[in-house]
């Protein structure tokens, strides 16, 4: 009996010891390392102008990322460039801080308000090296708006929205910087950005995570590309479409170089890659920028209605993917609502970054939805709210409300009619009122448009020289009419 008791005690002690070792091991094991993040943004890319959406434009590197990762088939952005970039950087809809209207023109002095705590600032605070390569377009007139002052350790590229691909200038003025200093160099913009991305990755180590925001200007106007790329599309009859396709192919080639650089450096396995466009492909000559475009515009948004500048799906639902080896199952298709504002809390959570300094976010953490197939926490998308128009989606129902005279109200059920062909407003008055109330409520929270405020202020005071031009509302609504 005494022997059995001693034996039983020994077994109890062994069990306790084993439990303690297991518990200690669980505590002592390091948590998942912070992922490197490469965020790739295309400019004015059509929804249907990538291979994984059936395009005749060859995008093998983008397609491989889609096939070995997740495609996001209900991914939304703002209808224009500056608002989308602002939404990404803040995790908040641009209506909150006055960047909801058009883009920041070269003649304007405003920028993304400095009291917003931006994504690179949050990541830098969490131990990340941060870099922006490419287009900024969130403020250029004052240095306090520049990327180096907003959380980026390293900057290379353009401050404004549209530059010549070979001279790196807009309106005859050079707009090409490295770390706040003008750089006068030769080369095709898309290739230069790829070169710099490869150099940057080559300098990184596994000891410190990095966030690289690679914001291509392609395929935004002006339609320019080295001849070697157009040769691959000589069968395309339309010259604009031929050059546009070649510009996308050139961008895809540089993305391939980025992937190769990651593999060479041994960093690919722990690098999360995101890709999408800043808005739908452009179908309006009014919104082509400084460049005069002759002939038909080449972007293709597939079956979706409208394009850049529109509140319809063609202007706001864009080609998008996310790729992270071992963490996202290859071939994943996420057909749930996700908005660009969701990337701020999603990436912050993955990076272990604090949200304590942000203003109230409009975004949600979408990692469980993307990686595990869980239901999206988002049941609403705010397309945009401005003083003369607004659009919101609640569940499957979407209202597009133009308030300028003649006013126009359109209601769509996107589950039954994703291409917005049938206006159901007259047969669903209660649904219209519900969504109008939501838009009106958001309008009550809206900050004044910084663009319109500066334009009207200049007109009121009396301008010398050439005055700024008011937004051409017809450019917004020409397709709706």
- pLDDT, tens only, 423-480: 999 999 999 999 999 999 999 999 999 999 888 776 555 544 554 443 444 443 444 3
Say whether both 346 and 411 belong to one domain: no
Count of domains forming the chain: 2
Same domain, 280 and 351: yes
Would the pLDDT of 126 be above 80? yes
Residues 249 and 150 in one domain: yes
Model confidence at 10: pLDDT above 60: no
User: According to the model, what pLDDT value does residue 467 have?
Assistant: 44
Q: How far is residue 40's CA from residue 191's CA, in Å, rounded to a whole number?
A: 14
What mean pLDDT do residues 360-385 have? 97
- Residue 182 counted as domain residue: yes
Closest among 139, 97, 88 to 116, alpha carbons compared: 97
Q: In the predicted model, what is the mean pLDDT of residues 55-65?
A: 97
Judge if 280 and 389 occupy the same domain. Answer: no
CATH number of the CATH domain containing 420: 3.30.1120.10
Query: Can you give the pLDDT at residue 473?
Result: 41
pLDDT recorded at residue 481: 38
Answer whether residue 11 is part of any domain.
Answer: no
Identify the band that residue 284 occupies on the pLDDT scale cut at 50, 70 and 90. Answer: confident
**What CATH number does the domain containing 247 carry?**
3.40.720.10
pLDDT of residue 2: 43
Residues 6 or more apart in contact with residue 168 via CB below 8 angstroms: 158, 174, 175, 176, 185, 189
Gap between the Cα atoms of 134 and 138, Å rounded: 12
**What range defines the domain where residue 471 resides?**
381-477
Pair (212, 267) in one structural domain: yes
Separation CA 121–CA 118 (nearest Å): 5
Residues 312 and 424 in one domain: no
Q: Per-residue pLDDT averaged across 292-298, rounded?
A: 86
Residue 161: per-residue pLDDT:
87
> Does 122 lie in the same domain as 88?
yes
Q: Percent of the chain having pLDDT more than 70? A: 89
Q: What is the pLDDT of residues 388-438, one digit of tens each?
A: 999 999 999 999 999 998 999 999 999 999 999 999 999 999 999 999 999
Please indicate whether residue 41 or residue 456 has the higher confidence score (pLDDT). 41
Residue 9 lies in a domain: no
- Report the alpha-carbon distance of residue 258 to residue 278 in Å, rounded: 20
429 and 356 in a common domain: no
Question: Residue 262 above 60 pLDDT?
Answer: yes
276 is catalytic: no
Cis upstream peptide for 364 (omega within 30°): no
Looking at the domain assignment, is residue 184 inside a domain? yes
> 183 pLDDT band (50/70/90 cuts)?
very high
> Which residues partner with 40 through β-bridges?
214, 275
**Residue of 137, 220, 339, 364 with catalytic role:** 137
Alpha-helical segments (H) within 126-281: 189-202, 227-230, 239-265
Are residues 199 and 245 both part of a single domain?
A: yes
Task: Count the alpha carbons within 13 Å of 265 in the hemisphere toward its beta carbon.
Answer: 22
Last-in-domain residue among 359, 378, 397: 378
Together in a domain, 151 and 106? yes
Indicate the SS3 state at residue 406.
coil
pLDDT at residue 32 tops 60: yes
Residues 265 and 287 placed together within one structural domain of the fold: yes
Domain assignment present for 21: no
pLDDT, the chain, mean: 90
The whole-angstrom separation of Cα 376 and Cα 349 is: 16
Please identify, among 336, 358, 378, the residue that sits at the C-terminal boundary of a domain: 378
- In a domain, residue 305? The reply is yes
Q: Based on the residue annotation, tell me whether 81 is a catalytic residue of this protein.
A: yes
Give the number of residues written for the chain.
481
> What was the pLDDT predicted at 458?
65
Q: Give pLDDT, residue 5.
A: 52
8 A C-beta contact, residue 114 and residue 84: no
Q: What is the pLDDT of residue 189?
A: 98
Domain boundary at 321, 347, 378, which?
A: 378
pLDDT at 21 over 50: no
Q: Which residue has the tokens 């009396």?
A: 462
Catalytic residue among 81, 140, 339, 364: 81
The region that residue 356 occupies, defined by phi over 0 for left and psi between -120 and 50 for alpha, beta otherwise, is alpha
- Within a domain: residue 15? no
**Percent of the residues in the chain that have a pLDDT greater than 90, as a whole number:** 83
Residues 365 and 407 in one domain: no
**pLDDT (0 to 100) of residue 285:** 83
In a domain, 409, yes or no: yes
pLDDT score of 290 more than 80: no
For the ranges 32-41, 258-267, 449-458, the lowest mean pLDDT is seen at: 449-458
């Amino acid at each position: 009996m005494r022997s059995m008791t001693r034996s039983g005690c020994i077994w109890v002690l062994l069990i306790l010891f084993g439990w303690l070792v297991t518990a200690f091991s669980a505590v002592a094991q390091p948590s998942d390392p912070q992922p490197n993040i490469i965020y790739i943004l295309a400019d004015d890319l059509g929804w249907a102008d990538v291979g994984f959406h059936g395009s005749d434009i060859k995008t093998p590197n983008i397609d491989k990322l889609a096939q070995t990762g997740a495609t996001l088939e209900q991914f939304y952005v703002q209808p224009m460039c500056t608002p989308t970039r602002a939404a990404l950087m803040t995790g908040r809809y641009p209506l909150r801080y006055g960047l909801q209207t058009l883009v920041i023109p070269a003649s304007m002095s405003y920028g993304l308000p400095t009291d917003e705590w931006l994504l690179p600032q949050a990541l830098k605070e969490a131990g990340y090296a941060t870099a922006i390569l490419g287009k900024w377009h969130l403020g250029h007139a004052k240095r306090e708006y520049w990327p180096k002052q907003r959380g980026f350790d390293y900057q290379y590229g353009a401050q404004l929205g549209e530059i010549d691909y070979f001279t790196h200038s807009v309106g005859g003025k050079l707009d090409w910087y490295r770390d706040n200093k003008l750089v006068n160099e030769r080369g095709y913009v898309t290739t230069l950005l790829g070169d710099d991305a490869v150099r940057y990755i080559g300098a990184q180590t596994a000891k410190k995570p990095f966030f690289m925001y690679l914001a291509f200007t392609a395929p935004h106007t002006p339609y320019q590309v080295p001849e070697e790329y157009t040769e691959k599309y000589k069968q395309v009859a339309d010259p604009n479409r031929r050059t546009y396709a070649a510009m996308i192919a050139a961008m895809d080639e540089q993305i391939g170089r980025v992937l190769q650089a990651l593999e060479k450096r041994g960093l690919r396995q722990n690098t999360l890659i995101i890709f999408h466009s800043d808005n739908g492909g452009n179908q309006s000559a009014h919104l082509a920028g400084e460049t005069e475009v002759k002939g038909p515009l080449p972007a293709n948004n597939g079956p979706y209605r409208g394009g850049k500048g529109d509140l319809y799906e063609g202007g706001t639902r864009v080609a998008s993917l996310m790729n992270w080896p071992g963490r996202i199952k290859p071939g994943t298709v996420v057909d749930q609502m996700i908005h660009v504002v969701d990337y701020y809390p999603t990436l912050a959570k993955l990076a272990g970054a604090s949200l304590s300094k942000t203003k109230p976010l409009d975004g949600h953490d979408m990692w469980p939805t993307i990686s595990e197939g869980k239901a999206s926490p988002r049941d609403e998308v705010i397309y945009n709210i401005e003083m003369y128009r607004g659009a919101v989606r609640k569940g499957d129902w979407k209202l597009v409300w133009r308030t300028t005279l003649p006013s126009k109200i359109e209601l769509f059920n996107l589950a039954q009619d994703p291409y917005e062909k049938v206006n159901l407003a007259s047969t669903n008055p209660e649904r219209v009122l519900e969504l109008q109330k939501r838009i009106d409520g958001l309008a009550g929270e809206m900050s004044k448009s910084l663009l319109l405020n500066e334009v009207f202020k200049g007109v009121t005071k009396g301008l010398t020289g050439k005055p700024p031009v008011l937004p051409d509302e017809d450019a917004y609504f020409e397709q709706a009419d």
